[in-house]
Structure 1
């Protein structure tokens, strides 16, 4: 697949930006049959038969509902009725919110009702897996197919797995992740696929990727505005990110910090800098980026065309609120430690 080129003269309007360009590989996952030796999303892994299957032993988060007494609900509604400005809290309203939070307890996230039923407070609590849960295959990437894939220790194959439950982690909320770097030449014998496990009612079905073939394409992208030199930073406009930073699944390139603004991504082991290795995105493009980043081969798809979803949301994965999970790795340290960040 091919990304439309930048409009003529776009880089000329920002002198010096071209020197900061960095390649990244757009993976362009699209639904299709995949094999155990292919680069893919959501397919079978080239897994050594004698190697233990990765499992998750970290507690997962479960939402619980706590009933709120009717008299407390009545006091809250009376306080809300005293507002003179719609989004400005009335006297005593904040204290009532704090009372609800104290009632619901640690992990409080809000309150509401379902279909007009009783008001309840919501909280997330951590529960251990009854038994270690098998990790699900997310992606398998071959360096021969993905030119921007790092090669720590001479590895030429990366396998990514995760646990399809919500977990509260240091810098992210979502699945736990396991990375496995390999040399293809050392993979001998009959490959086997790790078990997929059961997601069940408390797992998250949007963490089970649809099997997708990849159509890798190396594209140049540019830094997030706040990471530009000062003389360039003041000259960018509101369209900079959608023009110069690619959405979708990618390997390498620059991180988009539109949600939190830039922050450090230190190696968990040596505290040194890490590099962006993989972005797992909820969508390939949206209404604000489709004209720039929708592949040339799919420009004919109309917004109302049902086939658009195989192009726009090919993997079925949804991270956070239609965001992206980014994996930063440290190639200097043994075992290639990594850091997760969700935007």
Structure 2
């Protein structure tokens, strides 16, 4: 099934003609629980990973935990619609004590499936995203890994890894992604309006318009950031959202080139202020607003993942050389 973003409540360029020159395109991925295969673009499904290659592991020290969740029990509990039970953390000989923790495969995207997905180094057209399931250091930092491949070369492997290695326990349920198929859809997007993301006079006009909308329509008012600028959820390209941090300058650590947004991973496909972006196919046409949204958690939190405290994970790459180290920003 396709997914179709409803028309915006207001034509943003009709209200602010100056925004026409800033119009960009983002590809909403619309993940929904399903059974993707190794040759599919997906979140949480099986990776196209040759059996002869070692699975990536995190070798850094990891903190001692007190309890966690068995991955297979998380899967069973989700299927039954209940919460999994926690278990005491294993002893000193458990995986991770000496820094050997397998990464969790979060997603993979083929350029043949995803409009707007930038190419990787040496023409790579398949990108795979991983996360260490543990935190690091006193600030509970996370470690991510981006793996680029040439799809045609990788698909010629004789055998693929049937099941990646897993730790016995995960500290949080939301470390395990739910397998999701994708429904890519390109939509227009406009910059976050704060600091110097747009000219100051234009931001002032947007802020004044938002205030007037709120005064006239109250809680149901349309706002630029929530309804007209950047859609929520998983997406490729377009503009980053800066709800938590405010706009940041992201430069390549190798050559100082301003980096571009490769993709955004979000825990929620909708929050309290962004329900207008929910696709038509996930709505009851006889109802209006948030009340029309059907499908429950399978459409609002389909991947079951969390990034920080309900933030977006922005993955930036260098346009001058995609082989330069990526940057990871939680916002």
Specify the TM-score bucket, using the shorter chain as the normaliser.
Answer: 0.7 to 0.9
Name the structure 1 match of 2:237: 252
Please report how far the alpha carbon of residue 174 of structure 1 lies from its aligned counterpart in structure 2 after TM superposition: 4.5
Q: Give the number of aligned pairs.
A: 277
Please report how far the alpha carbon of residue 8 of structure 1 lies from its aligned counterpart in structure 2 after TM superposition: 4.9
More strand per residue: 1
The 1:185–1:9 alpha-carbon spacing in structure 2 relative to 1, beyond 3 Å, is: closer
Is 47-56 or 218-227 further displaced after alignment? 47-56
The 1:10–1:335 alpha-carbon spacing in structure 2 relative to 1, beyond 3 Å, is: closer
Q: Give me the whole-angstrom Cα distance separating, in 2, the residues matched to 1:62 and 1:17.
A: 50
- Please state if 1:216 is matched with 2:201: no
Name the structure 2 match of 1:339: 327
- Please state if 1:197 is matched with 2:166: yes
Please report how far the alpha carbon of residue 299 of structure 1 lies from its aligned counterpart in structure 2 after TM superposition: 1.7
Q: Is the 8 A contact 1:165 1:204 kept in 2?
A: no
Name the structure 1 match of 2:116: 148
Q: Give me the whole-angstrom Cα distance separating, in 1, the residues matched to 2:254 and 2:184.
A: 31
- Please state if 1:330 is matched with 2:318: yes
1:1-38 Cα deviation digits (max 9, x unpaired): 01011235432111120221111111100001110100
The 1:242–1:44 alpha-carbon spacing in structure 2 relative to 1, beyond 3 Å, is: same
The 1:8–1:236 alpha-carbon spacing in structure 2 relative to 1, beyond 3 Å, is: closer
Larger of the two Rg values belongs to structure:
1
Secondary structure of residue in 2 paired with 1:278: strand
Name the structure 2 match of 1:43: 45
Q: Give me the whole-angstrom Cα distance separating, in 1, the residues matched to 2:277 and 2:294.
A: 19
The 1:255–1:130 alpha-carbon spacing in structure 2 relative to 1, beyond 3 Å, is: same
Q: Which runs of 5+ in 2 are unaligned?
A: 67-94, 211-222
Q: Which runs of 5+ in 1 are unaligned?
A: 65-126
- Please state if 1:207 is matched with 2:175: yes
Q: Give me the whole-angstrom Cα distance separating, in 2, the residues matched to 1:38 and 1:242.
A: 31
* Cα RMSD (Å): 2.4
Q: Give me the whole-angstrom Cα distance separating, in 1, the residues matched to 2:309 and 2:292.
A: 22
Name the structure 1 match of 2:204: 234
1:177-226 Cα deviation digits (max 9, x unpaired): 1111111111112222562411526x332121000000111111001102
Please report how far the alpha carbon of residue 135 of structure 1 lies from its aligned counterpart in structure 2 after TM superposition: 0.8
Name the structure 1 match of 2:309: 321
Q: Give me the whole-angstrom Cα distance separating, in 2, the residues matched to 1:294 and 1:306.
A: 10
After superposing on structure 2, the runs of 4+ consecutive aligned residues of structure 1 that deviate more than 4 Å are 61-64, 301-306
Secondary structure of residue in 2 paired with 1:311: helix
The 1:173–1:274 alpha-carbon spacing in structure 2 relative to 1, beyond 3 Å, is: farther
Please report how far the alpha carbon of residue 288 of structure 1 lies from its aligned counterpart in structure 2 after TM superposition: 1.0
Please report how far the alpha carbon of residue 303 of structure 1 lies from its aligned counterpart in structure 2 after TM superposition: 4.7
